[in-house]
Amino acid sequence: MKLVILEAESLGEDMVFTPFHRFGEVVIYPATTADQMPERVEDADVIVANKVPICEKTIGQAKNLKLVCLTATGINNLDGEYLKKTGIAAYNVAGYSTNGVAQHTFALLFYVLEKLNYYDHYVKSGEYARGKCFSHFGQSFCELDGKTWGIIGLGAIGRRVAEIATVFGCHVICYSASGGKYDSPYEQVEFDELLRRSDFLSIHAPLNAHTENLMTADVFEKMKRSAVLINVARGPIVNEEDLYHALTEGKIAGAALDVLSKEPMDPENPLLKIQDSNKLIITPHIAWAARETRFRVVDEVVKNIQRFQAGDGTNRVY
């Protein structure tokens, strides 16, 4: 079979693609636009993609295509109706990034919460070397112990974050945007209560009709002024214009984001105007980028191709 990898650079320059060669001919493109796709997938049996749209316009001329493999969990770029109509199978990878994203969640929080940018600059500027006291109290911060950690989306990542937050002494509360009931030891609350009680609020939910534009100005008004928001899920869950005003007007204390509504970041994004790293940190969608996590993705895609060949529906989304 012919296998076409459309967005190799999205997996990192150190990625190894040799495991795919067991399936036949492999063609690798560092990046692919929607306009380039029809020609590149025309004679492919399998395509491996990440963010490019998979729809009639992009794959409609692919006469041999049998399988689409995503190097991601989210399936927003798939036209499910078209795939079902044409009988083209689609698989995603699930559970590969749980530890990496949970780890990054806390890295983001601690950077903002403990004012690490301020204290790093204090030392590197020479101020600490010129000081007279062994410690410095220029910016205050708090312990996690005894605080309330709110979670939107209690899937695998949300549960892992909940476990770690509990170890730090937090009381965990959770909310399901879809209205589902979680089978978990954590207190499930309504949205307004989640906002009112949370000292830290992290988002781990998929992007769908229930979560898109969930975090708006009205929502920020209901949060504690001392609260920190963490979004490592999907950018469009948070209204970035409203978040900008919430941060600059002191509606919440801080925010830590790994995802944005447009990636790479729109130069006109209002959040770029906030240069205070004690208030806001944005990382470029790297919560999943630990080396082990990225290589696990490729292993799972290889397994998904084998599953498809064996008629195994594990990880099949269409």
Query: What positions carry a catalytic annotation?
Result: 234, 263, 285
Look up residue 316 and give its DSSP letter. Answer: B
CA distances from 222 to 60, 116, 126, 195, 251 (A): 47, 27, 41, 6, 9
Report the interhelical angle of 98-113 vs 291-310 (nearest 10°). Answer: 150
Tokens standing for 117? Answer: 């940018």
Q: How far is it, in rounded angstroms, from Cα 137 to Cα 295?
A: 42
What is the residue type of 131? Answer: G
Cis, bond preceding 206 (omega within 30 deg of 0): no
**C-alpha 126: how far from its chain's center?**
37
Burial 130-154 (b: 16+ CB within 10 A, else e): eeeeeeeeeeeeeebeebbbbbbbb
The residues, any chain, with a CB within 8 Å of residue 118's CB and separated by 6 or more, are 138, 139, 277, 278
CB count, 10 Å around CB of 8?
A: 18
Is residue 49 within 8 Å of 69, Cβ to Cβ?
Answer: yes
The DSSP annotation for 11-74 comes to G-TT---GGGGGGSEEEE-S---TTTHHHHTTT-SEEEESSS-BSHHHHTT-TT--EEEESSS-
Cα-flanking dihedrals φ and ψ of residue 110, to 5°?
A: -65, -35
Tokens standing for 82? Answer: 């078209």
